[in-house]
Amino acid sequence: MSPLFKLPLLPLIEIFKSCKLKEIVLLSMTSARSLRIMKNLLKHMRYCDNIVVDMSIYPSVHKITVTTNHEQCHIHVNNEKWMREAPSSEKIFKNCKYFLSDYFYGLKTYWQEEDTAIQMVYNHILDLFGTPVTNLLYNPSEEKLYLELLETTLNNQDVIPKCSVGLVYLSEKSTARVLNHLQKVRELNLSSSFLKCAASKFKLQNLVIEDGYDISFQKLIELNCQSISIHKHRYQNNALQIKDLNSYLRRWAAGFFPRLKNFRLETPAPLFLSKILKRIHFEPSADQMEMDDEDTVLTAGPFNIRRVADGKVATVYTMDTWNKNGHEVTIFELSVKN
């Protein structure tokens, strides 16, 4: 334990008010007693009220980022083979040796068993700040799925608000195992490669597909989600067409996709709402559409369509805007009313 913790409470609080976030983390890792004292200090200082914790999982290279209102600390958990220069010191954490390299934005740590280490560091950060993971960046490999860490994270909190997952190099079996764990994620950002498995088996919540240029209509209707957002950054012939959107709406009106609350397609291709609504009964909507910014223009709608089975109403419309890459895109959106 650091001799610093032998000071009386009030002087100790004043000292930690001027400490950097990475110094707080490092001091808490010196012993179990240091962790207990630091937790009580932070609670007394109301230090953890506005903390955000993000975690990134890659083969052999992991990171936990802790953010406060005025500071950010990156805690890198890497395999020893990634050491490119002599670390500043050798440390012990929970009877495991690691090497520490201090840098401006946080702490770089190197371990013999980095996969075991990230589990320990994650548990420590959760214990120290009492803050669940807000955003998870998760890129497993066929050899390392990190399902135990994923299970631990999900068991420690009711839901993960946001998770971006790379499944490009996984087999169909491994992809299915991962998706089975991710059904508790509130907003799930996936590559379209996950569609190689039977996606309809998984009741996902809010699904975002960033590379949706090659999603077929057949794959779209297999999705079982509350919300689907597909981003097409380039146009391909096998991508979703106007006729596919028409068929999708007709299926919704006939009673398919009972869990669906929102569908959104962003594409560089032109979309004409009159053609999308062909042979579908619709009425003008009284809803006022609020545009995100001044560069977004409502081009058609809003119109209401009704589902025969239960009378539920969905509002559809199109708009033109610019995406985050500065490209002009058209957006089609369906929003189901409660």
Which pLDDT does position 237 carry in this prediction?
Answer: 58
Residue 20 burial by Cβ neighbours in a 10 Å radius (0-12, 13-18, 19+): exposed
Which pLDDT does position 281 carry in this prediction?
Answer: 96
Which pLDDT does position 15 carry in this prediction?
Answer: 74
CA distances from 314 to 206, 255, 266, 283, 306 (A): 17, 12, 18, 11, 6
Task: Give the closest residue to 19 by CA, choosing from 36, 1, 6, 5.
Answer: 5
Instruction: Give every residue of the chain whose pLDDT is below 50, as ranges.
Output: none
Helix (H, G, I), strand (E, B) or coil at 109: strand
Residue 159 CA to residue 201 CA, distance in Å, equals 20
Which pLDDT does position 280 carry in this prediction?
Answer: 96
For residue 234, what are its two tokens? 């380039």
pTM for the whole thing?
Answer: 0.85
Which pLDDT does position 225 carry in this prediction?
Answer: 92
DSSP annotation of 58: E
Task: Give the closest residue to 204 by CA, choosing from 165, 242, 232.
Answer: 165
Residue 59 burial by Cβ neighbours in a 10 Å radius (0-12, 13-18, 19+): middle
Beta 96-103 vs 106-111: how paired, if at all?
A: antiparallel
How many other C-beta atoms are found inside a 10 Å radius of the C-beta of residue 226? 16
Query: What are the φ and ψ backbone dihedral angles of 279, each rounded to 5 degrees?
Result: 65, 20
Which pLDDT does position 232 carry in this prediction?
Answer: 83
